[in-house]
C-alpha cells in the first residue's frame, strides 16, 4: 500500500494514513487502499479492534485538487460513501485517533468509527460549505446523530473549525488526550475492547445502528429484545457468566 500503513499489535489492527504532502487529504487511491484493507480485516477473524490514525494530521478532507472539474456523475464515482459505510458497519469496534486537522471527508472518516479520541491540539470541522459544496460521506447524517441538529448545523453551515475541547464538550469526540499520549489512549481502549466477547460487541454495535435507523420506538425495542435473547445461543455468553460465577477472567471464542 502506498498511502496507508497497517500494522498489528496482537489482536489490534492499526491503520495510518500516510499522504503528508497534502495533509493526508483523501484521494481515490487512499480510499481504494482503505477498501482493500477492509476486505482483509473482514476476512481475518483474529483482528478484534481497528484503530484509524495518522501521523501529524488525521486528514484535511477529500482531495480538493481531484474534485475541481468533476461532473455530477464523476463526483458520484469519486464519492467514498460506500467505504465509510463499510467502516461504520465493520463487525469489530473501531477507534479514530485524531491529531492535527480532521476536516471534511477526514472528519467523516472519524465519524464512521465507533469511538473518537482527539489530541488536545487537534482541529476538526466540516468546511465543505466554504468550497461551495456540503459534506457527502456521512457528515450531514452522522453529525446530527452524534451532537444534535443545532450543533450539526452550526458545524456544517458555518464551516468553522473547532478545537478538541469544544469537540469533547459537544460529544463529537469521546475524549481528549495529551498529544504524546494519543496512541497510548487509543491502545488502552483497544486492549479493553479486545478482551470483551466479540459476539456481544458485534451485536451491541449493530443493534445501536439499527435502533437509530428505526423510526418506530416499539419496533426498535423489540429488535433489541430479539438480539439480546439471540446472544444466549453463543458460547461467549455461557463463558462470560460462568467466569463471573467461578471468579476468573473469561476466555471468549467469538462463537
Active site residue 235: no
Q: What are phi and psi of 162, to 5 degrees?
A: -125, 160
From the list 128, 154, 160, 239, the catalytic residue is: 128
Nearer to ligand CO8, 68 or 245 (CB): 68
Considering only 1, 38, 129, 131, the residue that binds ligand CO8 (CB under 6 A) is 131
Buried b (16+ CB within 10 A) or exposed e, 244-255: eeeeeebebebe
Interacting positions 175-214 with ligand CO8 (CB under 6 A): none
Nearer to ligand CO8, 80 or 252 (CB): 80
247: left (phi over 0), alpha (psi -120 to 50) or beta: left
Rounded Cα–Cα distance for residues 65 and 13 (Å): 30
Considering only 33, 63, 114, 236, the residue that binds ligand CO8 (CB under 6 A) is 63
- Please give the grid coordinates belonging to residue 151: 450543533
Does residue 164 belong to the site contacting ligand CO8 (CB under 6 A)? no
Among 78-86, 110-118, 170-178, 218-226, the segment contacting ligand CO8 (CB under 6 A): 78-86
Among 32-40, 102-110, 143-151, 172-180, the segment contacting ligand CO8 (CB under 6 A): 102-110
Active site residue 108: yes
Closest approach of Cβ 221 to ligand CO8, in Å?
A: 34
Does residue 156 belong to the site contacting ligand CO8 (CB under 6 A)? no
- Give first-to-last CA distance, the chain, whole Å: 32
Rounded Cα–Cα distance for residues 57 and 199 (Å): 33
Interacting positions 4-33 with ligand CO8 (CB under 6 A): 22-23, 25
Nearer to ligand CO8, 53 or 105 (CB): 105
Rounded Cα–Cα distance for residues 22 and 176 (Å): 25
Per the CB < 8 A criterion, the answer to whether 24 and 58 are in contact is: yes
Cβ neighbours of residue 251 under 8 Å, at least 6 residues apart?
A: 239, 243
Nearer to ligand CO8, 62 or 193 (CB): 62
Nearer to ligand CO8, 6 or 78 (CB): 78
Quickly list DSSP for 229-245.
HHGGGSHHHHHHHHHHH
Could you tell me which of 169, 125, 171, 183 has the C-alpha nearest to residue 145?
171
Does residue 102 belong to the site contacting ligand CO8 (CB under 6 A)? no
Residue positions annotated with a catalytic role: 108, 128
Query: Which positions touch ligand CO8 (CB under 6 A)?
Result: 22-23, 25, 60-65, 78-80, 101, 103-105, 127-128, 131, 135-137
Amino acid at each position: 500500500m502506498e498511502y496507508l500503513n497497517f500494522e498489528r499489535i496482537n489482536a489490534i489492527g492499526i491503520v495510518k494514513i500516510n499522504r503528508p504532502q497534502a495533509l493526508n487529504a483523501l484521494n481515490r487511491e487512499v480510499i481504494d487502499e482503505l477498501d482493500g484493507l477492509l476486505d482483509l480485516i473482514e476476512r481475518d477473524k483474529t483482528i478484534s479492534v481497528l484503530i484509524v490514525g495518522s501521523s501529524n494530521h488525521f486528514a484535511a478532507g477529500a482531495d480538493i485538487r481531484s474534485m475541481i472539474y468533476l461532473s455530477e456523475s464523476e463526483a458520484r464515482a469519486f464519492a467514498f460513501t460506500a467505504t465509510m459505510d463499510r467502516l461504520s458497519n465493520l463487525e469489530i469496534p473501531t477507534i479514530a485517533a485524531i491529531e492535527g486537522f480532521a476536516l471534511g471527508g477526514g472528519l467523516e472518516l472519524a465519524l464512521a468509527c465507533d469511538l473518537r479520541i482527539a489530541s488536545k491540539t487537534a482541529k476538526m470541522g466540516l468546511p465543505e460549505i466554504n468550497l461551495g459544496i456540503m459534506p457527502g460521506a456521512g457528515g450531514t447524517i452522522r453529525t446530527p446523530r452524534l451532537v444534535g441538529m443545532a450543533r450539526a448545523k452550526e458545524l456544517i453551515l458555518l464551516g468553522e473549525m473547532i478545537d478538541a475541547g469544544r469537540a469533547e464538550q459537544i460529544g463529537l469526540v469521546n475524549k481528549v488526550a495529551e498529544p504524546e499520549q494519543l496512541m497510548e489512549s487509543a491502545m488502552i481502549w483497544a486492549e479493553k475492547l479486545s478482551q470483551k466477547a466479540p459476539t456481544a460487541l458485534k451485536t451491541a454495535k449493530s443493534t445501536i445502528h439499527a435502533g437509530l435507523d428505526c423510526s418506530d420506538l416499539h419496533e426498535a425495542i423489540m429488535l433489541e429484545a430479539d438480539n439480546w435473547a439471540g446472544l444466549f445461543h453463543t458460547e461467549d455468553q455461557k463463558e462470560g457468566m460462568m467466569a463471573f460465577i467461578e471468579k476468573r477472567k473469561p476466555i471468549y471464542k467469538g462463537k
